[in-house]
Amino acid sequence: MKPETPSENPAREIGLSLESDEYDGGAARGVEAIKHALKTMPGSAGVYRMIDDKDRVLYVGKAKNLKKRVVAYTRLMQLPIRIARMVAQTVRMEIITTHTEAEALLLESNLIKKLKPRYNILLRDDKSFPYILITEDHDYPRIVKHRGARAKDGSCFGPFASAWAVNNTINHLQRAFLLRSCTDAVFANRSRPCLLYQIKRCSAPCVDRVAKAEYDGLVDICRDFLTGRSQKILKQLETDMLAASERMDFEQAAMYRDRIRALSQIRSHQDINLEGVEEADVIALHHEGGQSCVQVFFFRSGSNYGNRSYFPRHEQGAEIPEILSAFVGQFYADKPAPKQVLLSHEIEGQELVETALSINNNRKIILQVPKRGGRRKLVEHALTNAKDALGRRMAESASQRKLLEDLADKLELDGTPERIEVYDNSHIQGTNMVGGMIVAGPEGFMKSAYRKFNIKGDIAPGDDFAMMREVLTRRFARAQKEDPDRENGTWPDLCLIDGGLGQLGVAREVLEDLRIEDVMLVGVAKGVDRNAGKEVLHIPGKPPVRLDMQDPVLYFIQRLRDEAHRWAIGTHRAKRSKQIGKSVLDNVPGVGGARKKALLHHFGSARGVADAGLTDLEAVDGISAALARKIYDHFHGEN
């Protein structure tokens, strides 16, 4: 009899007996839990969640008919290994019914992004995109970079692939159209033009250096340029430049020349463009070695606004149509989709995804897989970029894995660490004390796992040992509470402590107090003269380790320590800046943002408010007699 491979018999992987058709352990419990849910499950469209014994969502799925879809999970012999394992861990199910399958798809995408179930394909590194915003809530609109929800009082243009692309475009637009970028508060308080006016990047409407009608005209032309009428605007500017030159108004002609040059710079930075593609995203996926890279190019107003790489998380056996379908659903779950999405491959349920996106965006969205012509060339260009990006990532992962293996060898660890945590503290003469934790693993720095710790305990200023004790106690006490069985990958295999034997001793005491015995601790102390390259590694129960100055493992440890140092210092600076920005008026009861602004405008400073008399306070707009008395008593009372 031919032996069965795991793929031929997925049920055996989870304990299903082929001969007796009986279930063993978790597999039987999982099937029974699903059968129990099926008794009351409707035959309508909706979303289902499979949940384990720790109340964690394992999987989120959608269906046109919930009962018909979910019953398939009871036939273990026909399921892939990954899904069979999921069924074995399921103890209950939850469902949400929807009116249509398209609504179910939208809800599924949102729940996956929110819950991040283990068995779903997950989109990672999904950061918000920057836009260009031209405000509309002021007589003189300003042009700024914008992130987050679409602004109600303004026109947004984008998305751009990076902050650099937005900033670069805004710089050129300011040179061309001289629009202001300052805040309304700065605008209202200017008495003379700022530096941007001097370097010809603003027309200084704050001090009436430009007429209102002329400024409005500049705003309209800028909007037209950003909505795709760039060629028409450039031709008009050329005509105006020639006309000014003919009437010997060379200063005006030079102004038009500078505008043409600035706008041409924007177009020249847009790498690839295609005639006829006004608004589209190009999404291409390259799959190799069980990993995938999705490359997204953004085309708006006929211009290329850049591209970004994504590396969705999925199981080894996942197929391209499934991965790409999950990516598209999650990618547009919280952002507007363009009129056209050009794909490298057909996706699962393409018509359904198209319908769902159209519903979500209140307009027709077309998903297309181009086969020839210019659009196909765009897709192939994106595919090439996806292939190159995945190759670089796989090479970096292999290099990182080799470093981790060498680190384990040098430190005599039991195995290669999958998660390294590095701790550092920061303060200035004991003020604004903070602790920082950074995390690294086989794929490099895991920035989503970084943590900040505001020191809360009654600690003497500058007591580094007490700060380290508080940080580690809070970190591991929380880990014991939230993940006692260490199943979520949040426990470290190795902790690097920035410091010598003193800090290492504190770390050991914390773990001993919490009865944690299997987390490796290493203290990284600066060597002679505190020079990089002469670090000493202190390991409990072992003699100090000094690595060769050219050893790649030493460079790796230095990188980890420097990243922790950067993170802690950045946290400290942010806290210090926030402290500096506080005013004595923040502690006055009844004084909010608007009243504080009125008081500062009237008296010029917080000190002026504190020294003001009762009658002077009552004279401020928006300050009643009762509030004036509160403010006066706050600064002049017995306390």
**pLDDT at position 530, please?**
55
Residue in the block written with tokens 């306070």: 617
- 92, 120, 148: which is the final residue of a domain? 120
Does a structural domain hold residue 255? yes
**pLDDT at position 266, please?**
64
What is the pTM (predicted TM-score) of this model? 0.69
Highest mean pLDDT: which range of 140-144, 312-316, 598-602:
140-144
CATH code for the domain in which residue 375 is found: 3.30.420.10
- 100, 120, 140: which is the final residue of a domain? 120
Range of the domain at 323: 280-392
Highest mean pLDDT: which range of 254-258, 259-263, 465-469:
465-469
Same domain, residue pair 370 and 502: no
Number of domains in the chain: 5
- Which tokens go with 543? 């003699």
Secondary structure, 3-state, 411-439: HCCCCCCCCEEEEEEEEECCEEEEEEEEE
CATH code for the domain in which residue 94 is found: 3.40.1440.10
- Which tokens go with 465? 């040992």
CATH code for the domain in which residue 622 is found: 1.10.150.20
Same domain, residue pair 571 and 462: yes
- Residue 440: Cβ-neighbour burial (10 angstroms; 0-12, 13-18, 19+): buried
- Mean pLDDT in residue range 515-532: 79
Average per-residue pLDDT for the chain: 83
Share of the chain above pLDDT 90, in %: 27
Same domain, residue pair 173 and 319: no
Does a structural domain hold residue 570? yes
Same domain, residue pair 569 and 612: no
Q: What is the pLDDT of residues 135-154, one digit of tens each?
A: 988 899 999 998 876 666 78
Q: Could you tell me if 303 and 166 are in contact, meaning their C-beta atoms sit under 8 angstroms apart? A: no
187: CB partners within 8 A, 6+ apart: 138, 140, 142, 180, 205, 206
Same domain, residue pair 631 and 558: no
**Above 90 in pLDDT, residue 458?**
no
Beta bridge partners of 92: 51
**pLDDT at position 151, please?**
61
CATH code for the domain in which residue 505 is found: 3.30.420.340
**pLDDT at position 294, please?**
94
**Above 50 in pLDDT, residue 16?**
no
Same domain, residue pair 370 and 511: no
Same domain, residue pair 187 and 228: yes
- Mean pLDDT in residue range 487-496: 88
User: Alpha-carbon distance 261 to 470, whole Å?
Assistant: 58
Phi, psi of 3 (to 5 degrees): -65, 145
- Residue 70: Cβ-neighbour burial (10 angstroms; 0-12, 13-18, 19+): buried
**pLDDT at position 4, please?**
38
**pLDDT at position 1, please?**
38
**pLDDT at position 303, please?**
75
Check residues 596 and 478 and name the one with the higher pLDDT.
478
Q: Are strands 451-454 and 431-441 parallel, antiparallel or unpaired?
A: antiparallel
Does a structural domain hold residue 403? no
Does a structural domain hold residue 383? yes
pLDDT band of 175, cuts 50, 70, 90: confident
User: Alpha-carbon distance 34 to 72, whole Å?
Assistant: 10
Q: What is the pLDDT of residues 350-370, one digit of tens each?
A: 899 999 999 988 889 999 999
**Above 90 in pLDDT, residue 345?**
yes
Same domain, residue pair 180 and 113: no
- Mean pLDDT in residue range 390-416: 87
Asked which of 202-216, 306-320, 440-454, 564-578 is least confident by mean pLDDT, the reply is 564-578
Across 310-345, b (16+ Cβ under 10 Å) vs e yields bbbebbeebebebbbbbbbbbbbbeeebbebbbbbb
Secondary structure, 3-state, 309-350: EECCECCCCCCHHHHHHHHHHHHCCCCCCCCEEEECCCCCCH
Neighbour order of strands in the sheet with 340-343:
303-310, 291-300, 280-288, 340-343, 366-368
Q: Could you tell me if 46 and 63 are in contact, meaning their C-beta atoms sit under 8 angstroms apart? A: yes
**pLDDT at position 61, please?**
93
Same domain, residue pair 433 and 554: yes
pLDDT band of 601, cuts 50, 70, 90: confident
Does a structural domain hold residue 4? no
pLDDT band of 13, cuts 50, 70, 90: very low
**Above 70 in pLDDT, residue 22?**
no
**pLDDT at position 579, please?**
62
- Residue 423: Cβ-neighbour burial (10 angstroms; 0-12, 13-18, 19+): buried
Same domain, residue pair 530 and 599: no
Same domain, residue pair 350 and 461: no
**pLDDT at position 21, please?**
42
pLDDT band of 23, cuts 50, 70, 90: very low
**pLDDT at position 324, please?**
93
**Above 60 in pLDDT, residue 328?**
yes
**pLDDT at position 12, please?**
43
At 4, which amino acid appears? E
User: Alpha-carbon distance 476 to 471, whole Å?
Assistant: 9
Share of the chain above pLDDT 70, in %: 88
Helical (H) or strand (E) element with 454: strand 451-454
SS3 72: helix
Same domain, residue pair 265 and 311: no
**Above 90 in pLDDT, residue 543?**
no
Check residues 305 and 514 and name the one with the higher pLDDT.
514
SS3 273: coil
**pLDDT at position 274, please?**
60
Does a structural domain hold residue 412? no
**pLDDT at position 533, please?**
62
Highest mean pLDDT: which range of 468-477, 526-535, 570-579:
468-477
Q: What is the pLDDT of residues 72-114, one digit of tens each?
A: 999 888 888 888 888 999 999 999 999 889 899 989 988 998 8
User: Alpha-carbon distance 270 to 224, whole Å?
Assistant: 18
User: Alpha-carbon distance 347 to 612, whole Å?
Assistant: 70
pLDDT band of 19, cuts 50, 70, 90: very low
Does a structural domain hold residue 405? no
Cα 382 to Cα 121, 226, 229, 297, 378: the distances in Å are: 21, 24, 26, 7, 6
- 120, 146, 171: which is the final residue of a domain? 120
User: Alpha-carbon distance 172 to 263, whole Å?
Assistant: 7
**pLDDT at position 433, please?**
83
Q: What is the pLDDT of residues 413-429, one digit of tens each?
A: 888 999 999 998 887 76
Does a structural domain hold residue 14? no
User: Alpha-carbon distance 114 to 476, whole Å?
Assistant: 25
User: Alpha-carbon distance 349 to 372, whole Å?
Assistant: 23
